[in-house]
Amino acid sequence: MSAVQSLIAAHRQGQPVGLYSVCCSNEQVLLAAMDVARTYDTVLLVEATSNQVDQFGGYTGMTPPQYRDYVLRLARNHDFPVERLILGGDHLGPNAWQKGPADVAMANARTLIAAYVAAGFHKIHLDCSMSCADDPTPLPDAIVAARSAELARIAERTAAENGLPPPVYVIGTEVPVPGGEASLEGGLAVTTPTAAALTLAIHREAFSAPDLLPAWERVIAMVVQPGVDFDHSSVHYYDPAAAQALSAFVETQPRIVFEAHSTDYQTEAGLHALVRDHFAILKVGPAATYAFREAVFALAMIERELLPAAEASQLIDVLERCMLDKPGSWASYYTGSAHEQRLLRAYSLSDRSRYYWGEPEVQAALATLVDNLTRVPPPLMLLSQFLPEQTRAVQAGVLAVEPLALIRHKVGLRLAEYARVCVNESFSATEVSER
């Protein structure tokens, strides 16, 4: 039994534990996640999404083996024990190619799954819920399940051929879009127990072939909509009463839990309630890069106050120019007036600026910012103005006035909420800032 299976089994046996998943490729976010996992003595599940990392490089430019090596290198350089790292693949299926015909998209998905599993990714989210160009909309559950079973068969074979532990799987058809909704104006419907039962039954049938029965025993979770999501400027917070029937349903099912996507920006109390109600796997992504962006912007404001304009990185302006020059990752998502789009580019909760931190000019500006504030450390009065939570940790003697450490600490405060709820631990605000 793998560490993931053990955690899920412990939850199903009544222990108040869960598993948090950091879906990100940002170096400082991943290092902050390692700090948090070390502090709270948890495993660290890091997941790459199908549009982020694929056999062609994805938007990060990394294939699955390259992403694996990147995360392992960060762990070793940061003295984080690699045996506590678990790699996962999120939304693996035809997602990145859904605008084309199904046969082409699924051919790419088959290669994608094999590449992830061969690279040692253990937790596999089979997501065939999207309609391709020549598919009916919405896609019937039977087709979703059949395609998922087909990909599971490839995953099983790939793991065996490479002498790797067999993967664990997450299934589902009511899957939130990666990165949050475009708008929550129409409301948010919680998955019904009837829909969840039908999804589970159809997938069980699709996995009933003899060679897939062992894979079915390793299906640990199902993605449903518990009533949590976010859009550019608002958050739909968890309402336990609205999900009560769904929570009761999963208690009747052996072995599995629910996996909650788009839990970003939920309150810590809401996250506790989700785990209690058997949404035991919590996914977080944009909220972590949003905290990174907040920290970097705060440091840029400090730099602006400290240094002459000619010496400053001008990072905020550089990022804005880069997003305007290369609008492909935001233009179809951010609508409204020029002023409204500018605000969204900088501050949207969906944080599409996260796609731009790898651009050479933005990387160079960030390096200049870090160099400047290493050379001229921020005084307490400016730290207090722009990074008050980090100021308290500095005053407590547990955080250095060093740019990257300040960034990681701010990201870590967000991720620590997830770690605490997954080990059923809570701290006062003062204790949290000092850890």
351-406: pLDDT as tens digits: 999 999 999 999 999 999 999 999 999 999 999 999 999 999 999 999 999 999 99
- Residue 80 buriedness (CB in 10 A; 0-12 / 13-18 / 19+): buried
- Whether 377 contacts 306, CB under 8 Å: no
How many domains, the chain? Answer: 2
Residues 157 and 180 in one domain: yes
Residues 35 and 155 in one domain: yes
What are the CA-CA distances from residue 255 to residues 217, 332, 335 (Å)? 9, 40, 43
Of 285, 304, 334, which closes a domain?
285
pLDDT score at 182: 54
Q: Calculate the average pLDDT of the chain.
A: 95
- Whether 419 contacts 20, CB under 8 Å: yes
CATH of the domain at 164: 3.20.20.70
pLDDT score at 347: 98
Whether pLDDT at 432 is above 60: no
Residues 301 and 274 in one domain: no
Whether pLDDT at 179 is above 60: no
Distance CA 30, CA 288 (A): 9
Average pLDDT (71-86) is: 98
- 31-62 burial, b at 16+ Cβ within 10 Å, e below that, comes to bbbbbbbbebebbbbbbbbbbbbbeeebbbeb
Cα torsion angle, 59, 409, 230, 318, sign: negative
Distance CA 199, CA 197 (A): 5
Distance CA 401, CA 409 (A): 11
How many residues appear in the chain? 435
pLDDT score at 175: 73
CATH of the domain at 349: 1.10.400.20
pLDDT score at 183: 60
Residue 280 is which amino acid?
Answer: A
For residue 188, what pLDDT band results from cuts at 50, 70 and 90?
confident
Whether pLDDT at 414 is above 50: yes
Residues 76 and 188 in one domain: yes
Residues 235 and 296 in one domain: no
In this structure, the dihedral spanned by the alpha carbons of residues 114, 119, 120 and 121, taken in order and rounded to 10 degrees, is: -70
What are the CA-CA distances from residue 85 to residues 23, 42, 69, 81, 434 (Å)? 13, 10, 12, 7, 25
Distance CA 169, CA 413 (A): 29
- When mean pLDDT is compared across 70-79, 165-174, 209-218, the lowest value belongs to 165-174
Of 227, 250, 285, which closes a domain?
285
Distance CA 112, CA 68 (A): 14
Distance CA 13, CA 315 (A): 50
pLDDT score at 321: 98
pLDDT score at 425: 85
- Whether 360 contacts 394, CB under 8 Å: no
Whether pLDDT at 244 is above 80: yes
Whether pLDDT at 181 is above 80: no
Please calculate the CA angle 359-122-262 and round it to the nearest 5 degrees. 55
Per-residue model confidence as pLDDT tens digits over 314-323:
999 999 999 9
Distance CA 62, CA 68 (A): 9
Q: Which domain holds residue 253?
A: 3-285
Whether pLDDT at 429 is above 80: no
Whether pLDDT at 178 is above 80: no
Element of type H or E holding 301: helix 286-306
Please calculate the CA angle 211-212-214 and round it to the nearest 5 degrees. 95
Distance CA 95, CA 134 (A): 14
Of 242, 258, 285, which closes a domain?
285
- Residue 65 buriedness (CB in 10 A; 0-12 / 13-18 / 19+): middle
Long-range CB pairs of 376-384 (<8 Å, 24+ gap) are 376/306, 376/307, 377/401, 377/402, 378/299, 378/302, 378/306, 382/302, 382/305, 382/306, 383/302
What are the backbone dihedrals phi and psi of residue 192, each rounded to the nearest 5 degrees, phi first?
Answer: -85, 155
| Selected residue with higher pLDDT from 429 and 135 | 135
pLDDT score at 176: 67
pLDDT score at 173: 79
Whether pLDDT at 430 is above 90: no
Whether pLDDT at 435 is above 50: no
Residues 332 and 186 in one domain: no
Distance CA 251, CA 398 (A): 42
- Give the E-state strand segments of 151-248 in sequence order: 168-171, 219-223, 229-230, 235-236
- Whether 24 contacts 46, CB under 8 Å: yes
What are the CA-CA distances from residue 332 to residues 66, 67, 151 (Å)? 29, 27, 30
DSSP 88: E
- Whether 344 contacts 334, CB under 8 Å: yes
pLDDT score at 184: 73
Percent of the chain past pLDDT 70, that is, above it, reads 96
Average pLDDT (66-75) is: 98
* Separation of CA 299 from chain center: 24
pLDDT score at 378: 97
Residues 108 and 33 in one domain: yes
Which two tokens mark 133?
A: 């160009």
pLDDT score at 187: 75
Which two tokens mark 388?
A: 């008050």
Residues 326 and 270 in one domain: no
Residues 239 and 294 in one domain: no
Closest by Cα among 81, 70, 132 to 106: 132
Residues 32 and 68 in one domain: yes
Closest by Cα among 62, 176, 35, 174 to 119: 62
Residues 265 and 335 in one domain: no
Residues 38 and 26 in one domain: yes
pLDDT score at 434: 44
Whether pLDDT at 260 is above 90: yes
